[in-house]
């Protein structure tokens, strides 16, 4: 009678395992598609700032390269 809670452990383990597999598959699919892990809780503003930062870094690199020549 004391170990009746163990009867629920197998289904809970299966559910937890399925959730872990789904989360891991989302991570690996996104990383394969975009080449980097997904940022958690990023919205349109964060995407726009990433795009802006990337263009600023490219402009700075090209400026540095042109000054070196």
pLDDT in tens, the chain (69 residues): 677 888 889 999 999 999 999 999 999 999 999 888 887 888 899 989 999 999 999 999 999 888 877
At 1 the pLDDT is: 61
Q: What is the rounded (10 degree) CA torsion for 41, 46, 47, 49?
A: -160
**Average pLDDT of the residues of the chain:** 90
Q: Please count the residues of the chain.
A: 69
pLDDT in tens, 28-47: 999 999 888 887 888 899 98
Q: Compute the distance between CA of residue 31 and CA of residue 25 in angstroms, rounded to an integer.
A: 10
Distance from the Cα of residue 27 to its chain's centroid: 6
pTM exceeds cut of 0.75: no
């Amino acid at each position: 009678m004391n170990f009746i809670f163990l009867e629920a452990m197998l289904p809970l383990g299966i559910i937890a395992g399925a959730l872990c597999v789904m989360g891991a598959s989302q991570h690996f699919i996104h990383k394969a598609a975009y080449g980097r892990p997904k940022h958690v809780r990023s919205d349109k503003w964060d995407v726009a700032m990433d795009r802006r930062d990337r263009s600023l870094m490219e402009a700075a690199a090209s400026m540095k390269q042109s000054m070196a020549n």
